[in-house]
Amino acid sequence: MCSKHGADKRLFYYHLASGATDPPCLNYNLDYLPMVPDGYYYALALAGAAVLVGWLAGPLWALPACLLALFFLWFFRDPERVIPDSAGAVVSPADGKVTDVSSILMNGAPRTRISIFLSVFDVHVNRSPLAGVIREVRYQKGRFLNAMNPASAEHNEQNAVTVEGDGQSVIFKQIAGLLARRIVFNKKVGDPVRRGERVGLIKFGSRVDVLLDASATLQIKVGDRVKGGSSVLAYLDRVSEPLTTVGATRQGAL
């Protein structure tokens, strides 16, 4: 078991560039580590490069590699969060800035889409927006448009996850950005999740969309900054129409 609010850290790697659809499984983001292990790997490689460059060319030439090593240690941080326990609360699956709140049509039914942009300065660990069961995981190959581009929601490579629980149904999409080349997701269909539980990661700049029933009571607006697992995006009624991950078209901004 993982740290509180983060149960199973067996992360499946979606290698976006290669288009893998059945990624391998391995232990990832261990309980006793304060960050995703990738941070240590990058930092150790850069520290070794800094030592070599410093030995060959002098200490000042090693400074850029040292600074990059520190950046990667910071980028892959994985802080604990206080998870709200309010009934019907949908928490943010990611840290970042709310860039769009729109009405869309999904299979003919109105839905609300919340888009969250993650810059390279945000925590990139993703969390489940509600407690329930993973009902669908759909990986889509695509482009690597800037995550701020509205077209990225449909055309970029992405991983769409449907979570259902206690009569609620929410979809969240891990969307690759201009720099992102790997999406990580650690669950499979049928797995239970807790609200705010760690479920994956997107490396470097990226975007996360959350699709809700149109009756959801929103708690955020465009321009707000949110934190994964702790910021409440909306409240849902106990019974909501099941969502599917196909057939979404933009209807208009709220």
Domain boundaries, the chain: 10-30+81-253, 38-75
Section 166-188 average pLDDT: 82
Q: Is the pLDDT of residue 85 over 80?
A: yes
Which pTM was predicted?
0.74
Section 241-250 average pLDDT: 51
Looking at residue 243, its pLDDT comes to 58
Looking at per-residue confidence, does 14 or 180 come out higher?
Answer: 180
Looking at residue 33, its pLDDT comes to 55
Looking at per-residue confidence, does 137 or 107 come out higher?
Answer: 137
Instruction: Name which of 24-33, 155-164, 231-240 the model is least confident about.
Output: 24-33
Looking at residue 193, its pLDDT comes to 95
Residue 7's pLDDT band (cuts 50, 70, 90): very low
With contact defined as beta carbons under 8 Å apart, do 152 and 145 qualify?
A: yes
Looking at residue 145, its pLDDT comes to 66
Q: Is the pLDDT of residue 228 over 90?
A: yes
Q: Which residues are known to be catalytic?
A: 206
Looking at residue 114, its pLDDT comes to 97
Looking at residue 146, its pLDDT comes to 60
Looking at residue 196, its pLDDT comes to 94
Residue 3's pLDDT band (cuts 50, 70, 90): very low
Looking at residue 107, its pLDDT comes to 80
Report the mean per-residue pLDDT for the chain: 77
Q: DSSP labels for the chain? A: --STT----EEEEEETTTT-SS--EEE-S-TT-SB-THHHHHHHHHHHHHHHHHHHH-HHHHHHHHHHHHHHHHHTB----PPP--TTEEE-SS-EEEEEEEEEEETTEEEEEEEEEE-TTS--EEE-SSSEEEEEEEEE--B---TTSTTHHHHB-EEEEEEEETTEEEEEEEEE-SS--EEEE---TT-EE-TT-EEEEE-SSEEEEEEEETT-EE---TT-EE-TTTSEEEE--S--PPP-SS-EEEEEE-
Looking at residue 116, its pLDDT comes to 95
Looking at residue 49, its pLDDT comes to 86
Percent of the chain, pLDDT > 70? 70
For the stretch 216-226, pLDDT in tens is: 999 999 999 99
For the stretch 122-159, pLDDT in tens is: 988 999 999 999 999 998 887 766 666 666 667 678 89
